[in-house]
Each structure stands twice: as structure tokens, then as C-alpha cells.
Amino acid sequence: MDQTETKERRDSGSHDITSPEKLVYQYQGSVEVVRAGTLAALVENLTHHDKLDGAFNRVFLATYKYFTSAAELIELLIDRFDCSPPKLDATQTTEWTTQIKPLIRLRVINVLKQWLEHFWSEPKGIDTDQNLRILQSFAKRATDATEASAVQQLLTVIQRRLAGLECHKRSLSSISNPPKPILPRKLNKLQFLKIDATEIARQLTIMEAHMFGKVQRDELLNKNWQMKDSSNTPELAPNIRALIRYSNQLSNWVGTLILAESDVKKRTQVIGHLVNVANTCHQLRNYSAVISILAGMESAPIYRLARTWAMVTERSCNTLRPLQAMTCSAHNYQAYRDTLRVAMAPCVPFLGLFLKDLTFIEDGNPAMTPEGLINFQKYTMLASTIHEIQRLKEAPYSLRPVPELQEYLATQLQSAVDLQNMWDKSCQLEARGRDLGNRPRDLYTPTGGMFASMVVACMVLDD
């Protein structure tokens, strides 16, 4: 186990300040990381002349909105660019001016470029335009003071932001030829059991991956997905909330499909088909759909169908078990976490677990330390979780959409009955205490909603 050791460091800084600014470091094994500090000290560390801490910079730029504003950060970085030397003798001052200050200035330019390219998420408006104009004016005067090519790159990024354009390239799929869709004979008369399970999984994955890809970093901050909408302000986390609705609709649809069949054999066929869809989603690394489908099958109205589950084929049961094991809640969902840790993009994770983690970090860690310093350790944990989400979006799926199938699935999901309202229907199909017949119910035992607590805690919408 890595030993964590804490120490304080007072940096005199390289700008004209009246008192030293404080950073508090800790050692995680042999790695020194910032635990807390004043805002001025954090900005100084962001642009240190003899040390480039890429991890620190990414955390700072991903979470700066918690402890400062864009306008204040711009002012601090410009002040840092124009910094004056500390109290030194004449020789040291000359050395500082010729060797250290140019490095600080170049770091400021590079930090601004990184911020605007990869972490800029300021809302469109007069204030944001004014901030960009301030940066543009600063960059133009900085041309003569530091490396011209770096400043020119910064100016180009500023101009793109002012024009409302994206500033970084999106990854392209490494697979050039998507698999050929498996189409049913009649696309105009679609029925669930007659659509290939693999193609259903593909189309569900395309639909959900598109929504997941639109999730912005700011939506994951400040528990924005839990904020109620206001007519005076824009929705703070529209893409996360869309994913939450989609997950709930998918679970509801699963229950609706099963309970729509009055014949027990037909119900087992539907379950078998859903199992195949979930299994293909797992192969596609669409873990969100896997969990939503299992949550639907393990909801109370479906869970209680003893006669139906007793007739599910052994093959389907054997396919379900590893999926159930992956989503087991034991040890804080360790099996699922291990699966995600090694997963490569493209991937669609179940967002509920990430939202749960972000909620615990937000609620369980104060913004400031008892000494009045910014608790940077909190923001490091937040940024680490958000980075893991972003990592899984780095490559798109190479799958071919089938509009007719997607329209069918979207319509089915949107019209599905809420699972909470299906209990009576379930009891009509199988009365309580009904005999299981000659087939023992020993092949598969549903757990009754392994992700229920997570969904209740983080994914309930107040619509």
C-alpha cells in the first residue's frame, strides 16, 4: 500500500506579492501531488518555470469553476505573464529576467492554449465574448515578449472560440468497414422476436453511444444532473438527463415486452431473445444497455414470475450468469469497476455508477481545508472520475445505423409502461403461489434489481 505523507511548502513565487503563497503537498508513494493551496499558489504551480505537472494542470483546468471564475483566472494568468522578480541581487535579477521569466511566459501561453482547446466550456454570451477579447488583446501584445509561434497558435484558438467553432479534432474509428446489418425480411412490419438480437444490440448501442458522446464535462460538475429545471435558466445537464431517461425507458421496455405475452412459453422466448441482446451489448462494450436490460428483467413484476423463469432455457441461464456476476453489487461493484478499468473506447458505461461516485466526492469532501486553503484533493478525485468517463468516449463505434430499426426501437422505448405500474399485470399472468409444474426452478435466480439503490440515489428525475 502506498504511504501518503503530507508536507507544506511556501513558495515565494515569481511575481510581486507581499507574502509567500502556500501549497500543501502530499506523497502518494514516490509521487508528490498537491493537496491544497491558495488560488495564487495554484496558478503559480500551473505555470511553474522548472516543473511541468501535466496531471495537476488537467485537474486544475477541468475543475477551476469550483474555486474561481474565467475572468479571475484570465486576470491571474496575465498577471503571471507580467510578473516581477522576487527580491534578488543584481546578478540574480538579471539571471531571473533572461532565463526564468521567458519560461514562465511560455508556460502561461501554453496553459491558455490548453484551456481554450480542451477545457473551455464557458457559456455563450456577452461576458464570455468579453473574456475572449481580453485574451485576444493580451495575445497580440505578447507576440513581442515570447515565442511567436506559440502565441500565434493561441491567437488561432481564440479566434475559433470567438467564431463558435470547435478547437480540437475528434478521434476517428480505427475500423473502416462496419459489419453489414442483419435485416428482417419486412422492415415495414417489425416484430421484436423476428429482429435479429445482434442487430437490435447494434442499433441500441448506436443510439446510446450518440447520447453518451454528447455529454459535456460541465454536466458532471456540481451534481448538475440533479438540479431542477427553471424557465429562466438553461438545463444544466441535458445530455446526462437524456441518458437517464433512456436507461429507464430501456428497463421499462424490457418489462413491457415480457408482460405483453399471456402465454408462458412466449414469455420465455422473449426473455431468451433479450438475453441474446444483452450478451451482444456486452460484447460491444455497451455496459449501460446490459445493466438496463438486467434491471428490467430483475424488477419486481418480472422477478416474481416463477413459472416463467422455471421454463427459461439452460442456454439462456448460462449466458445470463456472467452478466449478472459482472453487475454484482459486492465490494462496491468491484467486478463492474474492474471491467471498466480495462475497457477501451468505444464503450458505453452505465453512467449511474459514475454519478454515484461523483455525488459521494461532492458531498463527502469540503471545498476548503480547515486552514482556509482550496481543497485541491477533492478536485483531483472529481477530475479523475470525469477523465475516466471522457476516456471511454475517445473513439466512435463503427456500426451502420438502420433508420427503420432505430425508429421502431425509439417508439417502443418511449411508449413502454413504467415498471412500477406493472405489478397488477404481473399478478394477472401468474397468480401468487402458483405451482411450478414439473420443471424445477434451479437454472437461474434473478437477484431482484442489483442496481436499484444506485438508480434511486443518482438517476431519478424530477420531471
Q: How far is CA 78 from the centre of its chain?
A: 32
**Grid coordinates of 227:** 438540479
CB 270 within 8 A of CB 192: yes
Cell of 270: 422473449
Instruction: Tell me which of 316 and 166 has the higher pLDDT.
Output: 316
- In three-state secondary structure terms, 18 is coil
Q: What pLDDT shows up at residue 329? A: 87
Indicate the helix (H) or strand (E) that contains 145: none
Burial class (CB in 10 A: 0-12, 13-18, 19+), 233: exposed
DSSP per-residue string spanning 107-130: HHHHHHHHIIIII--PPSSHHHHH
Give yes or no for residue 445 having a pLDDT over 70: no
Region 359-365: mean pLDDT is: 96
Among 119, 131, 106, which Cα is nearest to 50's?
Answer: 106
Helices 264-283 and 238-259, packing angle to 10 deg? 150
pLDDT digits (tens, 9 = 90+) for 82-115: 988 888 788 888 888 888 999 999 999 999 999 9
Model confidence at 175, pLDDT cuts 50, 70, 90, reads low
Distance separating alpha carbons of residues 206 and 211, to the nearest angstrom: 9
Res 455 pLDDT > 50: no
CB contact at 8 A, 169 and 162? no
C-alpha cell at 101: 521569466
Q: What's this model's pTM, rounded to 2 decimal places?
A: 0.86
Distances (CA, A) of 445 to 252, 283, 306, 322, 378: 20, 23, 10, 13, 40
The C-alpha atoms of residue 423 and residue 268 are separated, in whole angstroms, by 18
Look up residue 404 and give its three cell numbers. 427503420
Which residues are CB-contacts of 175 (< 8 A; sequence separation ≥ 6)? 398
Give the residues across from 33 on adjacent strands: 26
Lowest mean pLDDT among 15-19, 108-112, 190-194: 15-19
Mean pLDDT, residues 260-281 taken together: 97
DSSP H or E stretch at residue 287: helix 287-297
pLDDT tens, position by position, 26-38:
888 888 899 999 9
First to last CA, the chain: 45
Write the pLDDT tens digit of every residue in 384-438: 999 999 999 989 999 999 999 999 999 999 999 998 889 999 999 998 764 444 4
pLDDT score at 1: 40
| Confidence bin at 168 (pLDDT 50/70/90) | low
Residue 320 one-letter amino acid = L
pLDDT at 12: 39
Domains of the chain, with CATH numbers? 23-163 (1.20.870.10), 192-367+376-458 (1.10.840.10)
DSSP secondary structure, 347-395, as one string: -B--HHHHHHHHHHHHHHS-SB-TTS-B-HHHHHHHHHHHHHHHHTTSS
Q: Which three cell numbers stand for residue 141?
A: 501584445
C-alpha cell at 449: 434489481
Please state, in angstroms and rounded to a whole number, the distance separating the CA atoms of residues 43 and 73.
8
Residue with cell 439452460: 314
